[in-house]
Amino acid sequence: MTSVAVLGTGLMGLPMARNLARAGLRVAAWNRTRDKALPLEADGAVVAHTPAEAVTGADVIVTMLSDGEAVHEAVTAAAPGLRAGQVWAQMSTAGLAAVERLSALAAEHGLTFVDAPVQGTRQPAEQGKLVILASGPASARSTLEPVFDALGQRTLWLGDAGAGTRLKMATVSFGISLTAVVAEALALAQGLGLDPDLVRQVITGGPMDSAYFQAKSAAMLSGDFTPSFTVRNAEKDTRLIGEAGQAAGVRLDVVAAAGERFRRAQAQGHGDEDMAATYFASFDKG
């Protein structure tokens, strides 16, 4: 039976760890705020007190933390429990520069590093329907197969480590930009004295409709900003995407504008709400 250490049990990491345990894998989880990981005990997971305790004896280490720095800190703290040959699936959205740094950290400890960010937010994570953008040594695939099968509906293997994060930068830019566009369309309707739900009615069933549009417009119209992906994390990702675009010589005007919206929404106090709360950035009093 594959044993998995999960470092980070936040909005994404908690349901991912739960799905691993429910799939019959041995799971040891660690979270900086330990109380947030304790619900996993009901699914048979061990909740460790330290990263080193979590990774000791694990075949696979999964990291799902807020950013590259948090991942680096956690794995550095785990060093006493690491052993050469463990497979590290780095599944956080960390950005290109961070992935290079984390790959070097893995090499220092003899770990097999797989860059494997995911496409999907809280609900797909809960349902085990993430899309995993995996890149790394082919030798790690058989070890990771039961892990990725428990977490996702599909895994794309993309070549050497780093390719997964490069693709994630492109795909997350789509979701972030679309959220900002939906927010502006609804806000403009409201500002013009219309019921913003009319925008939803016009788009529904037509060529511009999508499940994503329906989900985000519903959140904005109902005022339910229970987070699937927070404003704070979306803003962080716009910076990572911008850095990737700059490195590639590609101008990303829409993502840059979306980043400004997320920063305004965060300043208005919406940082921990779903990124649909970028709706408030259209108004001076959000």
* Residues marked as catalytic: 168
Outline where 7-59 has alpha helix (H): 13-22, 51-55
Distance between CA atoms of residues 95 and 17, nearest Å: 23
Task: Give me the DSSP letters along 162-198.
Answer: THHHHHHHHHHHHHHHHHHHHHHHHHHHHHTTS-THH
Distance between CA atoms of residues 28 and 11, nearest Å: 17
Q: Which amino acid is at 44?
A: G
How many CB atoms are closer than 10 A to CB 79? 13
Distance between CA atoms of residues 160 and 136, nearest Å: 5
User: What is the SS3 assignment for 144?
Assistant: helix
List the helix and strand counts (H, then E) for the chain.
Answer: 11, 9
Radius of gyration of the chain (CA): 19
Q: Is the dihedral of CA 132, 133, 138, 139 positive or negative?
A: negative
Distance between CA atoms of residues 30 and 58, nearest Å: 13
Q: Which amino acid is at 222?
A: S
Taking phi first (over 0 means left), then psi (-120 to 50 degrees means alpha), and beta for anything else, what does residue 85 get? Answer: left
